[in-house]
A and B are shown apart, each in its own frame.
Chain A
Amino acid sequence: MGTTSVGSFFGSFLRDTLAIAAKDLRSEFRTKEALNASFAFSVVILVLFSFAFDPSSEQLQTISGGLLWLVFSFAGALILNRSFARELQNDCLDALISSPAPAGALFLGKAVANFVLLMIVELASLGVFGIFYDSRFGAQLGSIALVIALGTWGITVIGTMFSALTVNLRMREMMLPTLVYPLLIPALMAAMTLTTDLMNGTPFGKDNTIWLRVLTGFDFIYSILAVVFIDVVLIG
């Protein structure tokens, strides 16, 4: 009897999470506003960076990871900002909060949707990066994909959490980056170092497993903290 109720709790939690994720993704794919804006922004940043650095130089090899993650985090902010803000019209946020779905499911649903959207923009940007900067990353593709997924989840978790936190503030667009970027520093440090190493052909080794551990630790800790505190942030 006990296991069925725990099982059914997780079952309904998962169902709610997926329902909210599907709702967000469906509404985004209908208009593709945020996706287009985010991708356009990332292309613009990549173009601007090509004026800052000589694209064919040695120097680029050492900063490629950093460059890429700067593009990902700036473009991602556009998507994350909208995440809860789009629910403000017509009191949709109140409706979602007062629905039977737990706040944790609401948060995870939005986080999953944001993750998917961010990954789409990032993969597209990665392609553009490869073209503009003549980068070859076929050799370590699996590892790079892993690092990008982990790093993106870190950005998504913090970004979605603070999107919920700042949703009712009058200076939302300013407060979200101000709060989110300092918190993302360890995850971005790890992702940048790992990506640079991988793009230069160095596989996961003694030197950079530390950063892999930092990244996974970051994701794990903040996923839990976010689900625990989302109630406080959204409801009170």
Chain B
Amino acid sequence: MSEQNGQQKEHWHRRLLEGRVGLFAVLTTIAISIGGIVEIVPMFTVRAGPEPLEGVTPYSPLELAGRDIYIREGCYTCHSQMVRPMRAELLRYGNWTRAGEVVYDRPFQLGSRRIGPDLQRVGGKYPDAWHYEHMRDPRSTSPGSIMPPYPWLLTKRIDARDVTRSVVAMQRLGVPYHSVTPENVAASIQAQGQSIVRSLAGMNIQAEPDREIIALIAYLQRLGRDGDAALEARARREAGTGNGAGDGGAASGAAADAASPAGAASSTNLRATDPHAGFR
């Protein structure tokens, strides 16, 4: 706190580090590495890392194509896919989102903003025809919506060879496609597309199965369905086994909250029972 004195002893930081840039860079690298290593590495090594929920299966080729369209159009910039364990969210959207439900999501689509509503449980919430009309003109189904229309999805075609490349890449990444092979991707797309076309025809909408809108509908209708089914199955199982195991789990689950590594002991990787079960 005094006038600088030429004879004063140099600060250790200046003496030891500010002349040694190599050492300085190494220390900086160490400083920035620790946090990331501590937080990220356990996601791969500890059993708490996300594993498939029972019954959650990979996206079909058509759904994968729809997901790529969802990504292309930047839907994630307005829509999250993560229902939080909060009373109002359970009322508005349904079950909160489990880690095991999104294990085939590459990239993840949890989102960061809700300019529009969350979509993680949108699957099965509306008929196919609703989605068709909603994409053509959002305000025809949702008065007051500020979503842009996506009429080009109704005319643009999906290319089965292109979808095959996506499926092959997913397989290389370890996504378990048991019955899907590069050879039957086109047939799979055709079959699932036809079923959506039939459901649209029932609402007097004429559509071709190879259009992008069909793929997007397939994807949206899939969202959250497997997880919901798995959660219902588990609830039934717990009700069946009785002995209050489920109730006890619910009570202690309030402390365990969303997910804790301690809960990973559970064989189904479901961890603690839904802490908010009482709200529904």
The answer to whether A and B interact is no
Chain B residues proximal to chain A, CB less than 8 Å: none
Chain A residues proximal to chain B, CB less than 8 Å: none
